[in-house]
Chains A and B, each alone.
Chain A
Amino acid sequence: MNLFLCIDDTDDLDSIGTGELLENMRDAAAARGLGQGGFIVRYQLLIDETIPYTSHNSSMCCTFETHDRDALTAFCQSYLEANCAEGSDPGLCILTNNSGLDYTVLTAFGKRAQTEVVSKRDAYAAAAAFGSDVSLSEHGGTGIGVIGALAGAGLRAGRQEGRIKGKLHPLPGRPTMTAGEFAALYALSQLVDTNGQPVDPQRVLTFTEPTKAVFRDGMVTGVVCCENGVWKPLPKRKKEKQ
């Protein structure tokens, strides 16, 4: 069975970030023989003075293929309790990933968490409305991380856009390649320009600065831009913040 694993509020100013913690948890679960995880998507949640967060307010979500949901859940719960930063408020959401499910209620909750202040009670109500294919758990502090955890899982299940953790680095000695080669080399499912239009696979790209892939339309997506007549993968600073 395939699941979404999503966590939030696991860090403090001195700890590793939530994305790295999820990466470590995913890999530790795989090393335990519990299955295999996929790439991690970061979802920006509401930035508001009344919301407690460290330097950002985002949650992290990956998929995980497992044969034993209960064992995976127990593993993730104990992993978070052992590894989250002291004083953090971690929350975990585990959600079935199945195209037959209607995620509308959870995606709507995720969108709300991006635009307004929502409470733990709202999160539990949305989870209850969805039913037994989703579970929420708190692992320290106020446990308020369940809000972001549910929001991130709902956004991911609803194929909403988010940034994929990690950078794509240029290959040494290969500053140019066609768009088609770039997509194949970095396992991108689609390549678009900054207007969202598909890019001709024969277009030559200059790739000398790291870039990031995004999760868009449910696909790993590369974005390219044209600067002074030169086409290239979008450097970070050309992205809008968040």
Chain B
Amino acid sequence: MWDTVDGMPVWQGGKTDWAAAAQAAENCGAFRADCEEECVADDDVSCYNCRFRRWTRDSFVCMKERCL
């Protein structure tokens, strides 16, 4: 579900692939919940609700490698 752009993992599922984003976060181990007002998915654990996702125009980039 990830592309690599400029060395960074870019989510291929856009902003509404709810099930896959939840599954990816379950499998990740680095998930950290963002603050309530920035969480957009109903699934508590989801890349869409993670502090390490940085939104782009069409999707998001996972910043965990850069932040941890």
Contact = CB atoms under 8 A, between A and B. Distances in A.
Interface residues of B, number: 25
Interface of A: 11, 13, 16-20, 42, 47-49, 53-58, 60, 163, 165-167, 209, 235-237, 239-242
Interface of B: 15-16, 18, 32, 34-43, 48, 50-57, 63, 67
A17 B67 contact: no
A48 B57 CA distance: 7
A81 to B, nearest CB: 21
A236 B36 contact: no
Contacts, number: 70
A16 B57 CA distance: 25
A237 B48 CA distance: 10
Nearest to B22: A237
A239 B40 CA distance: 8
- 3 closest pairs, A vs B, by CB? A17-B35, A241-B15, A19-B37
B36 A13 contact: no
A55 B52 contact: yes
Contacts of A58: 37-38
A236 B42 CA distance: 6
